[in-house]
Structure 1
Amino acid sequence: MFSAVHSDRSGRIVVAADYAAAMSDGSSIGPLAAAVPLPAGSDVVQLPGRTGIGLDRAGRPRELGQGRWGVAAIVPIGYLRMGVPAYADDPGQPPLRPRAYAAVGADTNGELVVSAVALESDAAAADGRSAADLVARITATQREHPSSRVLRQLARCAKDYRCRAAANAFLGRHDCALPVAAPRNERPPEVLALHDDADAAPTEPAAFRPTPEELVDAASRHLEGGGTVVAFGRACEGEPLLAVRLIDDAIVGIRERTRLGTIHLETNGSLPIALRRLCEAGLDSVAIRLASARAETYEAIHRPDGFRFADVRASIASVISARVSVALRVLTLPGLTDRQRELDALIGLAGELPAKSSLVLCGLAADPQRSLRVAPASEPAEGMERMLDRLHTDAAHLRIVALPRPLVRL
């Protein structure tokens, strides 16, 4: 059995040994389940103004006491949270900052554990944010390319906001983000954010619109220097399909410079015609980002501006017909994604993808309790473990992963 933990007002983590660790599945509170030792690279955060909840000796949920705030973890890339923290919400408090909060507890030695499962054991290799020489590499690269606005922006993203894909630009490995300062065409409620919280803390989009030549220079440098993927549409970016002309020119220029690596796009799939144009320009892989495969839930969460869920489905079909590698990047939230109707819809959509395509599972950044009110449930959640079991069984033709991998045209 694991013990409950809480934080005091100073942020110190305290083990409440008289209470068992609890978690929420979105509809009820129970014992902490699917617990693993806190992975390296996790962020442990307090939930200000939210009293932590544990289980008494009879297994009943109990508040831990005034001033004893809840604690959560943000797990790194490669892990998927299975339960959210149990706490008493305070309507008088502002919403929690949207993050992919996972429930935590403490083992008999007082070491933290978290409700999560490892999707890919080697995903951590794609995260160089803790590399000892990162700052030195950033400095050296900027000295070598002093006029590159793209590298200057990526340096700021890597150092100030700890963006994983920005850091990779200076480490010459894995995927590198290519910022294009695209506008947004989604207006989600303030209690959630449509990004993968383990990848970055998006707070500052690019302050300039790069030229195609600037993007070509940054991309070819990465791919010719050991990197495997360059990606449009990451983290703090808006919707890249709204910058289709710029990206089209950049893709053509990259492929004129080098045939190495994968040119990847992450998108909400709002503009099927624009997406088809980028596929024809030489795009290698596409990940369609969504928090639900049900139109009603999708539109309540994403609040699309100028498009509907039918356009997203048309984009998926367009990518498949263009014979470009496709993935669904599913933003998961316990209590939402694991509802039966949500699962049925996701499995149905996944069934339209070619064999060996990917389901990229990551955590939806959200206030765990208030975000569920955006799409109220008419049924209890089945649990995240059941969700994974169903995906492995009913979408067995797909790869379930934590990161898009270097891919080529099918």
Structure 2
Amino acid sequence: MYRAVHADRAGRVIVSDYAAAGFDGAATVPFADPVRLPTGATVLHIEREAETVDRSGRARGVGAGRLAVAAILPPGHLRTQLPAYADETDKPDLPPRAYAAVAADDAGDLMVAALLIDRDPTRDIDAYPKAEIAAKVNDALRSRPADRLVRQLARCAREYGCRAAANAFYGRWECALPIAAPANEHPLPAIAPRLDGEAEPREPAAFHATAEEVAGLAAQHIAAGGTLVSFGRACEGEPLLSARLVEDAIRLIRGTTRSGTIHLETNGSVPAALRRLGAAGLDAVTIRIASARADTYETLHRPEAYRFADVRASLRVAAEQRLATSLLIPVLPGVFDRAEEVAALVVLAGELREGSAILLRDLAADPLRALALMKGREPSIGVARAVERLREELPHLRVGSFVRPLARI
């Protein structure tokens, strides 16, 4: 039996004699899908009373002052249950994070309700020791003191631990290209569709870089051995709203080198802009959708001046432009695994070209407040079964978590 854990007011994690529980999006249920707490996970407590399940399977609180414990999982893991706790409507929303259920085994070791769905050696948590990052950043700042993008990435790497920023100082893997694009989706405070399990709110660039600055950074990264340069990272707005800048930067990059993959993460809101970027030399696009059903999509994303039909049009443009295409799905148990949601995603993703990808990452949210926004109650099949079904019904697609450096397909 897995045992419940809770925290006291001082934040100390305590293993109890109660049965461990998780929340599946509809009810508090016995803890399931146990995986040992992975390296790189963050354990934290939630300012809500923890819940357990009694012998009859009913939810019950574990006592006043005994706070729920959750884990934020490293990339490649996907939670299957949310932490079980009693909501308190008089309290403000929880900070939107990708909270996962936590329990303890008989030895007292922490476990999480999760699946390991992807591995990527470039995301090794120990790849960049902090002291080494600081030294690399300082060297770059001394050699390029006037480079605004280097200064911005230095801040992101040192203060926020952003790997895509740190990569710029190592000349490897993926490098973020910050352009301070505006936003055109405004989700409620309980939801952060742009953030995944690893992310916290970051600091967007405080200036608008020129196409020459962006292209210079990208070309230098690729020349140093980097494989991927990306527009539209989580702290950015919507890069399709800055299409002229991105288009000019892509043309400048491709005027310098044919190596490396130029990648765009987007909500797919402006298909005409995506077409221009494909013509300019964009290699790969990741389109982020929290749901393949229009009503759920618009509830979670709250789009401004575009609709889900525009997103579908962008998928068609990506196919026409022969871009390597990924669908990025922010996963919330109780929404993602609803039977109708899974069916809609299978239909939408079934239109993707062979070799495309479905990328699953935990949605950052106040779980109970986010679920309360959903209309009605629909039967769920569970996150683990939903992932199985995607792999069974879409064998021509890769189901994982990470964008791969790819050429056009």
TM-score category, normalised to shorter length: over 0.9
In structure 2, the partner of 1:73 is 71
One-letter amino acid of the counterpart of residue 2, structure 1: Y
Distance in structure 2 (CA, Å) of the matches to 1:130 and 1:71 = 28
Does the 8 Å CA contact 2:267/2:288 hold for their aligned counterparts?
yes
Matching of residue 215 in structure 1 with residue 214 in structure 2:
yes
Instruction: Tell me, yes or no, if structure 1 residue 244 matches structure 2 residue 237.
Output: no
The answer to whether structure 1 residue 146 and structure 2 residue 127 are counterparts is no
1:312 has 2:300 as partner: no
For residues 197 and 169 of structure 2, the distance between their equivalents in structure 1, rounded to whole angstroms, comes to: 19
Name 1:267's counterpart in structure 2. Answer: 266
Equivalent residue for 1:114?
A: 112
Deviations 1:87-136 (A, max 9, x none): 00000110010111110011122111111111123356365455551111
Partner of 2:42: 43
Q: Is the 1:126–1:174 contact (alpha carbons within 8 Å) kept by the matching residues of 2?
A: no
* 2:52 corresponding residue in structure 1: 54
Does 2:11 match 1:11?
Answer: yes
Secondary structure of the corresponding residue to residue 23 of structure 1: strand
> Which deviates further from its counterpart, 362-371 or 55-64?
55-64
305-314 or 123-132: bigger deviation: 123-132
3-state SS, counterpart of residue 133 of structure 1: helix
Question: Which residue identity lines up with residue 54 of structure 2 in the other structure?
Answer: D
Equivalent position of 2:81 in the other structure: 83
Return the alpha-carbon distance in structure 2 between the equivalents of residues 219 and 88 of structure 1. Answer: 48
Give the whole-Å Cα distance in 2 for the aligned partners of 1:199 and 1:63. Answer: 29
3-state SS of 1:408 partner: coil
In the alignment, residue 14 of structure 1 is paired with which amino acid?
A: I
Distance in 2 separating the partners of 1:57 and 1:398: 42
Q: 1:321-374 deviations in whole A, cap 9, x for unaligned?
A: 011111100111000000011111101000000011000110111111110122
Q: Which residue of 2 aligns with 1:284?
A: 283
Matches within 5 A, 1:2-401: 2-16=2-16, 18-48=17-47, 50-123=48-121, 125=123, 128=127, 130=129, 132-401=131-400
Structure 2 letter corresponding to 1:96:
L
Structure 1 CA distance for aligned equivalents of residues 352 and 237 of structure 2 = 25
TM-score norm. by structure 2 comes to 0.97
Other structure's SS at 1:406 match: coil
- Pair 124,107 (structure 1): closer, same or farther in 2 beyond 3 Å: farther
Query: Quick one: which amino acid aligns to residue 240 of structure 2?
Result: L
Q: Contact between 1:199 and 1:235, CA under 8 Å: does it hold in 2?
A: no
Relative distance call for 1:55 and 1:124 in structure 2 (3 A) is: farther
AA matched with 2:13: I
The answer to whether the 8 Å contact 1:77/1:123 transfers is no
How far the C-alpha of 1:177 sits from its partner, in A, is: 0.7
Deviation at 1:58, TM superposition (A): 4.6
Q: 1:211 and 1:121 mapped to 2: Cα distance?
A: 35
Q: 1:123 to 1:364 in 2, by over 3 A?
A: farther
1:231-250 Cα distance to aligned partner (Å, 9 max, x none): 00001100000000111111
Distance 2:407 2:130 in 1: 29
Q: Is the 8 A contact 2:115 2:384 kept in 1?
A: no
- Given that 2:361 and 2:401 are in contact with CA atoms closer than 8 Å, whether structure 1 keeps it comes out as yes
Is the CA contact (8 Å cut-off) linking 2:289 and 2:297 kept in structure 1? yes
The runs of 5 or more residues in structure 2 that have no matched partner are none
Q: CA deviation at 1:181?
A: 0.3
Distance 1:76 1:370 in 2: 23
What are the ranges of 5 or more consecutive residues in structure 1 without an aligned counterpart?
none
SS at match of 2:402: coil
% identity of equivalent residues:
52
* Contact 1:164–1:199 (CA under 8 A) maintained in structure 2: no
RMSD of aligned Cα (Å): 1.4
Instruction: For residue 290 of structure 1, report the CA deviation from its aligned partner.
Output: 0.7
Contact 2:28 2:52 (8 Å CA) reproduced: no
Please identify, of 226-235 and 370-379, the stretch whose mean Cα deviation from structure 2 is larger. Answer: 370-379
CA contact (8 A) 1:123 1:403 kept: no
Bigger mean CA offset, 326-335 vs 134-143: 134-143
- Equivalent AA in structure 2 for residue 7 of structure 1: A
One-letter amino acid of the structure 1 residue matched with residue 186 of structure 2:
R
Q: CA deviation at 1:162?
A: 1.9
Distance 2:128 2:306 in 1: 36
